[in-house]
Amino acid sequence: MRAAVHLAMFLAAASAAAPAPAPELDAAVRTVRTFNFRSVRSAIQDLTDTFGPRYPNGRACLTRLRQLEESRAAALALWEKDEAGARRLIQLAQDLERLRAEALLANPLLNFDKLLVVKRGWKRPAARPAASRGLLSSPFFSSYGAELAIPVNHTSLASVPPNGWDNEIAVLSPVRPDGKLTTLYRPRGDEYVGEIELHWKADRLLFTAAPGGRYRVFEMRSDGTGVRQITPDDQPDVDNFDAAYLPDGKIIFAGNASYQAVPCWNGLQTVACLYSIGADGKGMRQLTFDQDEDSQPVVLNTGQVLYCRWEYANTPHVFPHLLFQMNPDGTGQRLFYGTNSYWPNAIYFPRPIPGEATKIIGVVSGYHGDHRMGELFLIDPARGVSGRSGMVQKIPGSGKDFSTPILDHATATSWPKFAYPWPLSGKYFLVSMKPSPEAEFGVYLVDVWDNFVLLHETKGYALLEPVPLQSTPQPPVVAEKVDLSRKDGVVYLHDVYAGPGLKGTPRGTVKQLRVHAYHYGYRGLSGWDKIGVDGPWEVMRILGTVPVEDDGSAMFRAPANTPLAVQPLDAKGRAVQVMRSWFTLMPGEVRSCVGCHEPPHELPAVRNTKAAVREPSSIAPFYGPARGLDFERDVQPVLDKHCVGCHAGARDRPDLRSKKYFPEHPGKTGIVPQWWGTADHRVYDAALMRIGQRKNTMLPVSPAYLALHPYVRRYGLEGDYELSYPGEYHASTSELVQMLEKGHHGVKLDQEAWDRLYTWIDLNVPCHGRWSDVAEIPFHGAKRRLELGRLYAGLEEDPEKLPDLPQREVKFVPPPKEERSPGGVSVPGWPFDIEEARARQQAAGTALERWVDLGSGKRLKLVLIPPGEFAMGSAEGSPDERPVRRARVDKPFWMAATEISNEIYALFDAQHDSRYINVLHMNTETRGFPVNLPQQPVVRVSYRRAVEFCQWLSRKTGLRFSLPTEEQWEWAARAGTATPLYFGSLNAHFGIWANMADFQIRGFAEEARYRIDHQGEMRVEMAASGGFAQYKRPLGVLRMDVIDWMLRAPTVDDRHMVSAPVGSYRANVWGLHDMHGNAAEWTRSEYRSYADGSPLGEPGRMVVRGGSWSDRPHRCTSAFRWAYQPWQPVYNVGIRVVAEVE
């Protein structure tokens, strides 16, 4: 017995002396060092203050926390000295973890017995099939999250294989780490189950399952009994999923009966819109008519529906995953959060905060990368609806700032990963969370002070979609506002000039609204490369125009259940602003909006408008019935009448003849699903749609379209997502319009011809007006969309049916013979050589240059320009440059040696942004190429602002600054020369002299990337040079789906794609840099005829000179003129100032 006692004592001593295991000790050190006492203290204090006696141990917990914090320093100081110190540190770590769990899990908001979860086993993807031309072979198994049946961010649940899953709906009880998971519902076999939504009474729930390989919405009682199918089973090619209860007893869900496909997947992956249905499974009606995914509907505390809407009507498709809201009947669809900002890319699983009218919790994620998981944010659109403006807090991140990157894989490196948040209040949330790559996906309690407490996890499984099994307040019923007997609705616009969309546009500018609709692509046939070249993603259906009253108001009837957009038009019928989105009216709905791009919560000024006191206008048709605008049908007649007499095959000019003259034209390259030509396109196969492989093929295109569209500036496939300035894409910024208005060989268009050209330009230069003009629509898609649209939305019109258009024989009308004045004029002593130019400058004053101090360390260099007389204009130029006339500059003047830079202009207007130049094709990582760097010339400054800048500069310096007259500008640019360019002819190699459209322009069509160097300058690298290219390929090899179309002088390399830092090129003899190219420059001269002084075109336009980086040499000559309205900020027009000589 004594021996046994001694043995026990020995073993106990040995055990006490045994060193602590290294992993346990390392973990303890990390815990004690990183333990956030402030976070735990804040949460305990809040629980104590908020719940009082319902949280009885709060004071004791705070005392214990203080004691442990006081022992922390000693424990960290002694743990390496001896084993006892190590043991004390381990004990402290355990005490801290225990206190945090005990204190935070005592939260009264957790006083419910059961928690619903989806328990799903991790599934590893099978070997991928061979990729096609480097593209992803599967949109589903392409990044983290596929193993859990969470859809890729750019697809719906229909993209997820319906089988192969080990999953069930389970109940955790008690709701603690040691609680037990029991099965509530398990599908047969390996079918998918998920997307649970509990009724407010907690007596029943909705979920999605996939019996027979098709997704359907089901309902069961909360005890697991009474399972019944809600959505119909009568359409074999339709999936329904993602459902939520509505306060009036109906159910809202997502479904792919719209028969669309994700555009950026070239017809692969079906698109889901939102539908409502009665609780009895009857009365299914389509609510949204959107381009891409609508998902995750949830009812707000106001009774309205919040949902995710992905759209990219010619905006970068990676970024605009928006949050929208609407009434349960589909009326009042409007923005909730996220427009005109590159961050956040997407917000998933939004949930309203209990008791709050506007606050929500959501998961911010990217486009590619994590599948609908990412960073947790508390959001309040009452603070703002774009970018970071409404972001209350990132969790974790209490009291800290957060980054807002322009990035495709926005959260790829961010941990923890969050999904499926459930707000218990505005401070405490349940959430599925994966803390690290090695950890399980468990259910956690998190709060706004950065505390994370594990509620439960199961090894080898993910616990998703936590929902407390308890009743919650039911939101109010929103009265229905639809009239299903009607096929239209009414739009009432209070004031088109209200809001930022037309900021600075003078009242009276807008005369009409153009109304158009989007006709989306089909399953197996959609994408960026089908309807045009760097043009619209979708067919652009032109409906017509409606009037705008002189007070800015408008009211009109428009078709219901149709994605509509409007464009404000000036007196000539040109769009002053473009709407790169859409709105949808429900039958009988009356939609009211304040103005152009006004904030969604803004209320109109109380006033009586002219439109409000009359009957709504009907849409005036556009030269025939509503139809998809088609180049061959709608634009080619203009060319046949006015152009083909000269443009009919000659090598030195574009061939603008109809495609009927080119029966063997090969078309252009496009991307289609891999199964094109190998599978039966008549029978729908959901498995085919889930395969991501694609291939190249040839698609039809009008040769005249390929020849003409490069002369048009447009917002393109994926223009800058920020709200564009008014007039940014005005038709007057296109070379085609400028050339015709200047008097191209005497051609004079009639009003209908101008209308057709303007409409084609404003609608983003489409080529095709029907998808069936591109290719045969697979799976009888047009017929099926029409059938399902008629069934669920009462739609009768077939947009693929060609309407009856007036058939007219169009004959070429020769323009009147162009009259040219005989040669130039004789001016004594002109032109003159460099030596004479120097002599005249030296004779004009004692100082040839001066520096003007502007403060803040900035100076402006001026050079002296002598007086003189010269021959102004060009006998070989456009009609507005003729007749050449004698012009005289009577007095010397100072002129800025360079254009005004962004950093100089910022001294006057620090808020101005010269912004970016759009990339071609698709954009996944940038706003474009910057023209807002400090040393680049300021652009997008209107004439009026340029004049105000000169006034400010005069007050600042005491000199009398202004914009130059045309005479001053051309005299200074020529510096004694009579050649088109200061440095020679149009064929002169301009690389060292000027920044014009050259070889560098090709970078827009290649995988060019840029960086900003340490001096703040942009450095561009093409695909082959590495460093910034996503895809490596030999220099000069274009992306397979991009047409290199920008006009340029291809044999010259001036080293800059867009504007260069001011003064980068050689100066003329008088010290002036960049008079040719870089940025065009405002003058203070009105655009008038040289012959008689009468206004050219619309009166009041002001002349710009010099051309820019985007213009070829003949548009950058000393004589070249163009003009814009004084209110119009232009993408390539800046400022050069002059000052009087004292």
Q: Using an 8 Å Cβ cutoff, are 145 and 372 in contact? A: yes
The packing angle between helices 22-34 and 58-78, to 10°, is: 120
d(Cα 771, Cα 799) in Å, to the nearest integer? 9
What pLDDT does 1125 receive?
A: 98
The confidence score (pLDDT) of residue 1016 equals: 62
b/e code 837-859 from CB counts within 10 Å (16+ = b): bbebbeebeeebeeebebeeeee
Which carries the bigger pLDDT value, residue 1088 or residue 815? Answer: 1088
pLDDT greater than 60 at residue 845: yes
pLDDT at 149 over 80: yes
pLDDT digits (tens, 9 = 90+) for 257-274: 999 999 988 888 999 999
CA gap 256, 155 in Å, rounded? 11
Residue 85, domain member (yes or no): yes
Checking if the pLDDT of 721 tops 80, the result is yes
Torsion of CA 368, 373, 374, 376, to 10 degrees: 150
Q: What is the DSSP string of 879-893?
A: GGG-S-EEEEE-S-E
What does the pLDDT read at residue 1018? Answer: 58
Residue 347's SS3 state is: strand
Range 760-766 average pLDDT: 98
Contact predicate 537/754, CB 8 Å: no
CA-CA-CA-CA torsion sign (968, 972, 975, 981): negative
Q: Which of the two residues, 1133 and 1029, has the higher pLDDT score?
A: 1133
Q: Average the pLDDT over 37-47 and give the result.
A: 98
Alpha-carbon gap, residue 584 to 563, rounded angstroms: 5
Work out the average pLDDT over 370-377. 94
Long-range CB contacts (within 8 A, 24+) of 804-813: 804/624, 804/625, 805/624, 805/625, 805/627, 805/633, 806/623, 806/624, 808/637, 810/637, 810/640, 810/641, 811/640, 811/641, 812/640, 812/641, 812/642, 812/644, 812/645, 813/641, 813/642
- Quick check: is 925 in a domain? yes
Q: How far apart are CA 248 and CA 481, in angstroms?
A: 13
In the chain the first and final C-alpha atoms are separated, in Å, by 118
1038 pLDDT above the threshold of 70: no
pLDDT of 809 strictly over 90: no
Domain end residue (candidates: 733, 767, 793) = 793
Distance CA 865, CA 854 (A): 22
Asked if residues 73 and 85 have their Cβ atoms less than 8 Å apart, the reply is no
- Whether the pLDDT of residue 939 is over 90: the answer is yes
Structure tokens at 1072: 């002036």
Please write the tens of the pLDDT for every residue from 435-493: 998 999 999 999 999 999 999 999 999 999 999 999 999 999 999 999 999 999 999 99
> How confident is the model at residue 141, as a pLDDT?
37
Q: Name the nearest CA neighbour of 1119 among 946, 988, 962, 982.
A: 982
What token pair was written down for 497? 């000039």
pLDDT at 3 over 60: no
Query: Could you read off the pLDDT of 1083-1105 as tens digits, one per residue?
Result: 999 999 999 999 999 999 999 99
Q: Which residue has the tokens 């009856």?
A: 804
User: Picking from 184-193, 1036-1045, 1063-1072, which range would have the lowest pLDDT averaged per residue?
Assistant: 1036-1045
Region 610-614: mean pLDDT is: 95
The CATH number of residue 335's host domain is: 2.120.10.30
Q: What is the mean pLDDT of residues 347-373?
A: 94
In a domain, 504, yes or no: yes
Domain that holds residue 972: 834-1005+1042-1140
For 217-255, write each residue's pLDDT tens digit. Answer: 999 999 999 999 999 999 999 999 999 999 999 999 999
pLDDT at position 131 is 31
Q: Is 413 inside a domain boundary?
A: yes
Is the separation of the CB atoms in 636 and 704 below 8 Å? Answer: yes
pLDDT > 60? residue 770 = yes
Find all residues with CB under 8 Å of 8, minimum gap 6, and list them: none
Q: Helix, strand, or coil here: 1086?
A: strand
Q: pLDDT: is 922 or 791 the higher one? A: 791
Q: Which of the listed residues 106, 129, 148 is the one where a domain comes to its end? A: 106
State whether 762 and 881 are in the same domain: no
What pLDDT is stored for residue 82 in this prediction? 84
Q: Which residues contact 1135 (CB under 8 A, 6 or more apart)?
A: 899, 900, 905, 937, 938, 941, 946, 949, 963, 1081, 1082
**Tens-digit pLDDT profile for residues 548-557:** 999 999 999 9
Q: Give the closest residue to 340 by CA, choosing from 494, 497, 501.
A: 501
Strand 929-930 and strand 961-962: the pairing is unpaired
- What the block records as the tokens of 307 is 């949902």
- Check if the beta carbon of residue 1001 is closer than 8 Å to that of residue 1020: no
CB-side neighbour CA atoms (13 Å) of 433:
24
Do 424 and 548 belong together in one domain? no
The domain that holds 881 is classified in CATH as: 3.90.1580.10
d(C-alpha 404, C-alpha 388), whole Å: 7
Task: Assess if residue 600 is contained within a domain.
Answer: yes
Q: How confident is the model at residue 778 (pLDDT cuts 50, 70, 90)?
A: very high
Nearest residue to 177 (alpha-carbon basis) of 96, 95, 118, 115: 115
**969 and 887 part of one domain:** yes
Give me 63's structure tokens.
């005392």
The percent of residues above 70 in pLDDT, for the chain, comes to 92
Alpha helices in 373-414 (DSSP H): none
Q: How far apart are CA 667 and CA 966, in angstroms?
A: 45
> Three-class SS of residue 994?
coil
Q: Which two tokens stand for residue 312?
A: 């990219």
Asked if 1126 and 1069 sit in the same domain, the reply is yes
Q: Which residues pair with 244 in a beta bridge?
A: 252
Give the confidence band of 1026 by pLDDT, cuts at 50, 70, 90: very low
Q: What is the pLDDT of residue 686?
A: 80
Between CA 841 and CA 892 the distance in angstroms is 9
Q: Please state, as a whole number, how many other Cβ atoms lie within 10 Å of the Cβ of residue 569.
A: 23
Is residue 1022 scored above 70 in pLDDT? no
Q: Let me know whether 458 and 511 are in one domain.
A: no
- Cβ atoms of 838 and 578 within 8 Å: the answer is no
CB 93 within 8 A of CB 76: no
Tokens of 657: 């003849």
Tokens found for residue 994: 């000027």
**Token code pair at residue 618:** 């009907």
Residue 120 lies in a domain: no
User: For residue 548, which of 507, 590, 488 has the smallest C-alpha distance?
Assistant: 507
Residue 1010's pLDDT is 59
The verdict on 674 and 533 lying in the same domain is yes
Residue 934 has pLDDT above 80, yes or no: yes
| 1032 pLDDT above the threshold of 80 | no
| pLDDT bracket for residue 1007 (50, 70, 90) | low
In a shared domain, residues 296 and 377? yes
Q: Are 977 and 936 in contact (CB under 8 A)?
A: no
Give 649-665 pLDDT, tens digit per residue: 888 899 999 998 898 88
Residue 1088 tokens read as 């008038």
- For the cut 50, the answer to whether the pLDDT of residue 605 exceeds it is yes
Asked if residue 726 has pLDDT above 60, the reply is: yes
Mean local confidence (pLDDT), 795-824: 84
**Facing residues of 786 across strands?**
none
Question: Is residue 552 helix, strand or coil?
Answer: coil
Question: What is residue 286's three-state secondary structure?
Answer: strand
β-strands 1133-1134, 1080-1086 pairing: parallel
Decide if pLDDT at 374 tops 90.
yes
How does residue 599 score in pLDDT terms, banded at 50, 70 and 90?
confident
Mean pLDDT of the chain: 91
User: Which pLDDT score, from 0 to 100, does residue 1031 have?
Assistant: 26
Question: What is Dmax (Cα atoms) for the chain?
Answer: 133
Nearest to 103 by CA among 60, 67, 51: 60
Report the 10 Å Cβ neighbour count for 952: 15
Residues 258, 169 share a domain: yes
Spatial contact of 869 and 1051, defined as CB atoms under 8 Å apart = no
The size of the chain, in residues, is 1142
| pLDDT recorded at residue 821 | 66
Whole-number pLDDT of residue 1130: 98
**Domain shared by 67 and 200, yes or no:** no
The helix (run of H) or strand (run of E) holding residue 665 is none
User: pLDDT digits over 959-1002, tens only?
Assistant: 999 999 999 999 999 999 999 999 999 999 999 999 999 999 88
Q: Let me know whether 437 and 529 are in one domain.
A: no
Q: How many CB atoms are closer than 10 A to CB 1054?
A: 25
Helix (H) or strand (E) holding 94: helix 83-105
Quick check: 1124 pLDDT over 70? yes
SS3 334: strand
Tell me what the mean pLDDT of segment 153-164 comes to.
92
Q: Give the β-pairing of 346-352 and 563-569.
A: unpaired
Element (H, E) at 453: strand 452-456
In a domain, 800, yes or no: no
Same domain, 740 and 694: yes
If asked whether residues 348 and 208 sit together in one domain, one would say yes
DSSP structure class, residue 701: -
**In contact, 953 and 961? CB cutoff 8 Å:** yes
What is the Cα Rg of the chain in Å?
A: 34
Question: Which of 394-398, 679-683, 808-812 comes out lowest in average pLDDT?
Answer: 679-683
3-state secondary structure of 696: strand
In the predicted model, is pLDDT for residue 784 greater than 90?
Answer: yes
Domain count, the chain: 4
987 within domain boundaries: yes
Please tell me whether residue 634 adopts helix, strand or coil conformation.
helix
Contact 202, 190 (CB under 8 A): no
Which pLDDT does position 1017 carry in this prediction?
Answer: 62
Instruction: Supply 545's token pair.
Output: 């125009």
Which one-letter amino acid corresponds to residue 248? D
How far apart CA 780 and CA 774 sit, in angstroms, is 15
